[in-house]
Amino acid sequence: MESGETDSDAVTREVAEETGLSVTVGRLVGSVERPAPNGLYAIHDYECQVTAGVLRAGDDASEVAWADSATLATLPLTDGLLGALSDWNCLPRA
């Protein structure tokens, strides 16, 4: 987050920068903490509704795609991500 940003502002900005999509930010679905060089990163995950844009990879990704549950389970994801999404009832429905 940048100084003075709300969570909603940060989510809107990050999604636009990393995916090319505009979103309306919804409810907080879950939070996790991950080790950082000088402490912990607090990561808050929000439900979002796409309102505009064309999906594209941002500057820190080689590719981006929509994925159903079966495909998502085969992708190399951050440790614990799939379990957290499942626990938070956020996986795509089959």
pTM: 0.83
Q: Let me know: does 64 contact 56? Beta carbons within 8 Å.
A: yes
> What is the rounded distance in angstroms from the CA atom of residue 92 to the CA atom of residue 85?
10
Query: How much is the mean pLDDT over the chain?
Result: 92
Distance of CA 75 to the CA centre of its chain: 15
Of 46, 44, 45, 66, the closest CA to residue 55 belongs to 66
Half-sphere exposure of 15 (CA within 13 A, CB side): 21
SS3 of 7, please? Answer: helix
Residues ≥6 apart with Cβ < 8 Å to 70: 94
Per-residue pLDDT tens over the stretch 11-38: 999 999 999 999 999 999 999 998 999 9
